Amino acid sequence: MSPWLRLHAMALADAWRRVAGQPLASAVAMAVIALAVALPVLAYVIVGNATRAAGSFDADPHINVFLALDATDEDARRVEAALKARPESAAVRFIPRGKALEELKASSHLADLLAQLDRNPLPHAFSVRMKTRDAERLSAVRADWLTLPRVDQVSADFEWAEKLSRATRFAQRAVAGLIAILAAAVLLVVGHLIRLQVVTQREEIALSQLVGATAADVRRPFLYHGVLQGMAGGALALGVAAMGVSWLDLELQALTSSYGADLKITFLTMPEGVVIVGSVVLLALAGAWLSVSRELRRFAAAA
Amino acid sequence: MIQFSAVAKRYAGGHEALQDVSCEVMAGELVVVTGPSGAGKSTFLKLASGIERATRGSVVVNGQNLSSLGETALAVLRRNIGFVFQDHKLLFDRSAWDNVALPLRIAGASRDETGRRVRAALDKVGLLGREKAMPVTLSGGEQQRLCIARAIVNRPAILVADEPTGNLDAASARAVLDLFLSFNRVGVTVLLSTHDEAAAAPLGGRHLAIASGRLAAGAP
């Protein structure tokens, strides 16, 4: 083994002895890191799932046009031509009343009820994707289309989409803020833990420096100590967050199955998990580094 | 081996510990630094071994000007200079073996090499049977010899000792001085200080007298 590799192996062994030598303090630090990390991870997972769910709705503004129940196919063709003629229309989709009924039967629990009806309760309809998001122009178009012959209702369902996308942006920002605050907490927790270690080993550090230890030699075992704490805390955090998610998921399953929907919370992907644990390790490393450097400067000033 | 040129050392409080000291210690020489307490002997030894830096002038050890070395290079240089501290500086929560092994751990020596060298160093100072002992269970003379074992475990070319016989009875002091003589005989440059010139007389070697921070006699 090269001396360089041996120095690192010895520093790691030293760090492990320090962790194992004070199981209570190590466990408390690990738990604090885990809680500080689990909270934003949980928020990240929930907001990520909510954003994905929101994204599965078409966020482009749509205007739905419903014809009168007794409107004929001929009427529908005339209305379609009028809708397409508007410059604001991007795409016009015709939903014949027969097809609308089939879809409703397939996608809901109302099949039994619908089967009892002697006639189709649904009208012909159009779903028009709009080119503009401008609320004033959209409502002008809506008012115009209401006056078309045989048109019964015009609904513009773009406002909620706009609101939804604003809400998800807000949630993402809140998570980012949470991450920043709790990252600082991890930095401080590890920094404090390492500072206590450095202070109790002050005599040994001073002697080591006298007999030839460089600043890097002194720092090394403490950095490994920080890394070990970070790894343990990060891994535990993922465990805690996974438990939290599966507990929430159970409730969500019970809730959504009664609506006939099947929503499932997806947890982190493997790369996301690696990035999170890696970030915690880096934070712990930074906390240890800052702490050791600060204490060494204080020793030097006191000497 | 060690050259001082117009060296001065002033401590942060303003105390001028050394002034205009110029001298040279040749390779393989045994030099005894004498003088009353507070004359600047410890400062001289610390400057010579790279533990402290001169305020003015230059200290050259083994061809390297210490004032031009960075902290890391200076630390690495200290590995080749054995230093026996006046207050021993033993780690009291570690065994004799671990105390002696510390410099080797810092240098990243292998387990085999560490074992060999620690045994050899303990053997040389007559403590091979006490390797598992904790320092508090050792007598004053034994603690001093443990400190010497730690200083020589890296097989340094220069051995520096600050008042190594300070608190020892005559017999222990004699044993410690004989140790330094035996190292000097095999080619190690030895630099030690004492306030008791009579006790150091049997050592022979060149004497450098320091008084009030200045070199009094015996220089070049």
Tell me what pLDDT residue B185 has: 93
Assigned token pair, B178: 């004989």
| Chain A hits for B107, Cβ within 8 Å | 3, 212
- For the beta sheet containing B206-211, the strands, ordered from the edge strand earlier in sequence to the opposite edge, are B81-84, B158-162, B189-194, B30-34, B206-211, B214-217
How does DSSP classify residue B157? Answer: S
Q: Alpha helix locations (H) across chain B?
A: 41-48, 71-78, 96-107, 111-124, 140-152, 170-185, 197-200
Given a contact cutoff of 8 angstroms between Cβ atoms, the answer to whether B16 and B8 are in contact is yes
Collect all residues of chain B within an 8 Å Cβ-Cβ radius of residue A210.
51, 78, 83, 85, 89
B83–A210 CB contact, under 8 Å: yes
Residue B117: both structure tokens together: 């060298």
Q: What is the pLDDT of residue A292?
A: 93
A184 phi and psi angles, rounded to 5 deg: -60, -35
Tell me how close the Cα of A3 comes to any Cα of chain B, in angstroms: 5
Chain B interface disruption, residue of A211, A218, A297, most B CBs within 10 A: A211
Which residues of chain B have a pLDDT value below 70? 217-220
What pLDDT score was predicted for residue B38?
84
* Closest to A44 measured CA to CA, from A239, A177, A236: A177
How far apart are alpha carbons A284 and A29 in whole angstroms?
Answer: 11
Q: Closest CB to A3: pick one of B51, B72, B108.
A: B108
Residues in chain A with CB shorter than 8 Å from the CB of B78 are 210-212
pLDDT at site A216: 92
Distance from CA of B165 to the nearest CA of A (A): 21
Tell me which chain B residue has its CA closest to the CA of residue A302.
B12
H or E element that contains A212: none
Provide the angle, in degrees to the nearest 10, between the axes of the packed helices B71-78 and A215-257: 120
Query: What CATH number belongs to A62-157?
Result: 3.30.70.3040
Q: Report the complex ipTM.
A: 0.90
Q: Chain B neighbours among A 201-240 (CB < 8 Å)? A: 203-204, 207-217
The whole-angstrom separation of Cα B131 and Cα B115 is 11
Q: Looking at chain A, which residues constitute the CATH 3.30.70.3040 domain(s)?
A: 62-157
pLDDT tens by residue, A236-249:
999 999 999 888 88
> What's this model's pTM, rounded to 2 decimal places?
0.77
Q: Which residues does chain A have within 8 Å of residue B89's beta carbon, measured at their own beta carbons? A: 207, 210
- For chain A (303 residues), the mean pLDDT of every run of 10, in chain order, is 87 91 90 91 88 69 86 88 87 88 78 78 88 78 88 78 78 90 91 90 91 92 94 94 89 74 77 92 94 88 69
Q: What local confidence, expressed as pLDDT, does residue A282 receive?
A: 95
B→A interface, C-beta within 8 Å: 51, 71-72, 75-79, 83, 85, 89, 91, 102-103, 105-110, 150, 154
Which of B79, B85, B109 lies nearest to residue A212, judging by beta carbons?
A: B79
